């Protein structure tokens, strides 16, 4: 499975989240050989739980892993501080980012820690998040911990 195919799994989660009225960020954790370990999406709105981001959901669904250095975390949007902290805490080796246009995240902070960052600059990810931010700005800014309009 290549990075684009991996992103398709995360994007399907983001799309499902959008249709549920949630923040459309999807993610998936893969083993080094491309085996899917877990997939998930931001369900902060759906579950009324601010701790469920796409990355944390996929991470939890994957269950315990003995090491994360050889794992690949794929996410439709550049990770926030909370998810970036998770990546560094568990030493996840590779992070594939669908887009960093709508939210730049903290990719340099991850690179400094030796995380391999793969940016795909995917137009479908950019479009979906743009639509969401335009229609639900308050939910979006709440999600990234910033003040809204
Ligand atoms: Zn996050």
| CA of residue 42 to ligand 1 center, whole Å | 8
pLDDT greater than 80 at residue 51: yes
Phi/psi at 113 (nearest 5 deg)?
Answer: -90, 5
The DSSP secondary-structure symbol of 149 reads -
Task: State which residues have CB under 5 angstroms from ligand 1, the bound ion.
Answer: 53, 80, 82-83
| pLDDT tens per residue, range 19-36 | 999 999 999 999 999 999
| CA of residue 114 to ligand 1 center, whole Å | 19
Instruction: Establish whether 55 is a catalytic residue.
Output: yes
Report field, pTM of the whole predicted structure over 0.85: yes
pLDDT greater than 70 at residue 149: no
Helices 3-19 and 54-61 sit at what angle, rounded to 10 degrees? Answer: 110
| pLDDT tens per residue, range 87-145 | 999 999 999 999 999 999 999 999 999 999 999 999 999 999 999 999 998 888 887 77
* Selected catalytic residue, list 13, 19, 20, 55: 55
């Amino acid at each position: 499975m290549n990075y684009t195919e991996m992103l398709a799994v995360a994007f399907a989660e983001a799309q499902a989240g959008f249709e549920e009225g949630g923040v459309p960020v999807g993610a998936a954790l893969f083993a080094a050989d491309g085996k899917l370990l877990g997939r998930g999406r931001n369900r902060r709105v759906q579950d009324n739980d601010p701790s469920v981001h796409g990355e944390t959901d996929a991470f939890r669904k994957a269950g315990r892993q003995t090491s994360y250095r050889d794992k690949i975390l794929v996410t439709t949007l550049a990770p926030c501080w909370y998810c970036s902290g998770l990546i560094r805490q568990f030493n996840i080796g590779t992070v594939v980012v669908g887009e960093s246009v709508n939210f730049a995240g903290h990719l340099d902070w991850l690179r400094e820690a030796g995380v391999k960052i793969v940016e795909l600059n995917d137009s479908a990810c950019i479009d979906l998040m743009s639509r969401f931010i335009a229609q639900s700005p308050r939910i979006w800014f709440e999600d990234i911990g910033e003040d809204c309009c």
